[in-house]
Structure 1
Amino acid sequence: MKNKIWLITGISSGLGKALAESVIEKGDFVIGTFRKESQVEEFNKKHTNNAKAVVLDITKENGIKNCIDKIISDYGKIDVLVNNAGVGFVGAVEETSMEEVRSVFEPNFFGTLKMTQTVLPFMRKEKKGHIIQISSHGGVKAFAGFGIYNASKFALEGFSEAMAQEVAPLGIKVSIVEPGPFRTNFAGTGLGQAESVIDDYSETAGAFRIKLKGVNGKQEGDPIKASKAIINLTNSKDSTLRLPLGKVALMTIGMKLDSVKSDLEKNREIAESAVYD
């Protein structure tokens, strides 16, 4: 196929859905993943020539390999992989059980990592490709009540930053997209919550939980505009490693950079003294 083939995980709603629609409108071919067969059937009835939906749960390793192998067999390539599927989660670190932690890390980190590892051999063979990791401004700056989600996105950003250096000489690009609050279902029914609630955290994690639910449907971010920015990123010859999206993302990431720089300068003498003479 002459047009680009995009593999986008999690296109049932939010940014994933908007991106799939925008890519199709642009004229490229979308392979999108859903977790339910009924969603796949509905999507494929609407799109017979310009897209294809498949069932995939990215927390199942064998399912990932089988899915990618089938796509390569049917279409011969994957030009752009967008690791969009993931979950939100709110709760203080102490409130969160290990089972809940794993339920966040399985899709946000391990599933995304496995998707990336499985697609890379085909991109290496072609000496081209673009991997887009949908992170968050919360992948740069942490917030009280968001610690486990932050940790999953920090982990995603960590391996992606290193991988970008590893694959650049092979003709493969990596981009980390860092949206702020967007008008999706992230803060609604799509948001997981710690089952345990500890009163001592009511003014920190508890306040964040209330605030997050209060902004649902009122977020500043436009998923369609974000989608167009991502498409433009894939067509840019000098694309950056990171793409923040939204005014809030610019503000919060800027705050993090200022904080890190401040700590660096305050501790410069101590840091410089901790070496052999």
Structure 2
Amino acid sequence: MTQHTWFITGVNSGFGRALTEQLLTRGDRVAGTVRNLDTVKDLGNKYGDRFWVETLDLTHTADIRPVVDKAFADLGTVDVVVNNAGYGLFGAAEELTDEQVEHAIDTNLLGSIQVIRAALPHLRAQNGGRIIQISTFGGQAALPGGSMYHATKWGVEGFADAVGLEVAPFGIGVTIVEPGGARTEFRSGSAQLGPAIEAYAASPAFHARTMIETGGTPAIGDPVKIAAAIIASADQRPAPKRIVLGSDSFTMISSALTARLADVQAQKDSASATDYPVGE
């Protein structure tokens, strides 16, 4: 077991809290961000200067780089940067308000992008490090009622994939984590719904609304085990490009990729028909 210094967004709940507790327990240092310092006061009291914390709302884009810079300056080095903070916005696309759409993009997509961009100069300067982007099976598969959540997760996965190729020569690894449903506060606490439109009660999108409003069946994912798997990945060399966690995630991603590949393969001849003839 190698001890590291971690920078993790959203350490007050969910995977962020589970990661932080496990890391501090084993002796690592954690620089965490939260919107409300009172939510992690217990961690500061228990672990002292091994737990560095700063307030950060990812929708306040101008605040991201100063917080990341301060973490590296105060701690000297950060080995692993974890983009964890985010939430789910659900409902049919038409049901979502403009304000909800913009807030979700600012938090889940733009916020994550800017955290990575802010960390890269420091990771390059220290000749390496690891970036872990928390996504979901919804970063590769899509379900009705999750259009905006999928938009942010598919977007951040594309960004992370490209960045991973760009920074590999500097010894920086990038890993995307794709968990399935887990027993965190995601559904009952952070998830949001757009204002209902009656017509969509007969739409497949209504299932997502029902799941959030009722809680649905208990998720099968254990957040403690998921956090442990994420932590273990930091010592893997080379960095895994993706980590799929949860049998539900494996099933959803496998089915989605199989269907998408079949669609593409069926168009081999029609795709090449739009090329210039060979030699022209």
Q: 1:54 to 1:79 in 2, by over 3 A?
A: same
Partner of 1:230: 230
AA of the residue aligned to 1:175 = T
Partner of 1:47: 47
TM-score relative to the length of structure 1: 0.94
Determine what percentage of the aligned residue pairs are the same residue.
34
Cα distance, 1:232 vs structure 2: 1.0
SS of equivalent residue, structure 1 residue 239: coil
Cα distance, 1:273 vs structure 2: 1.2
Structure 1, unaligned runs of 5 or more: none
Partner of 1:61: 61
Cα distance, 1:98 vs structure 2: 2.0
AA of the residue aligned to 2:18 = A
Cα distance, 1:69 vs structure 2: 2.2
AA of the residue aligned to 2:74 = D
**How far, CA to CA, are the matches of 1:217 and 1:41 in structure 2?**
32
- Alpha-carbon contact 2:93-2:148 (below 8 Å) kept: yes
**How far, CA to CA, are the matches of 1:187 and 1:135 in structure 2?**
15
* 1:9-20 superposed matches below 5 A: 9-20=9-20
**How far, CA to CA, are the matches of 2:121 and 2:133 in structure 1?**
17
- Alpha-carbon contact 1:34-1:57 (below 8 Å) kept: yes
Moved more, 155-164 or 209-218: 209-218
Q: How many pairs align?
A: 276
* 1:1-277 superposed matches below 5 A: 3-200=3-200, 202-215=202-215, 218-277=218-277
SS of equivalent residue, structure 1 residue 175: strand
SS of equivalent residue, structure 2 residue 189: coil
- Alpha-carbon contact 2:15-2:184 (below 8 Å) kept: yes
Moved more, 206-215 or 137-146: 206-215
AA of the residue aligned to 2:17 = K
SS of equivalent residue, structure 1 residue 48: helix
SS of equivalent residue, structure 2 residue 94: coil
Structure 2, unaligned runs of 5 or more: none
Q: Deviations over 1:83-113 (max 9, x none)?
A: 0000111111122222211111111011111
**How far, CA to CA, are the matches of 1:245 and 1:212 in structure 2?**
22
TM-score relative to the length of structure 2: 0.93
Cα distance, 1:188 vs structure 2: 0.9
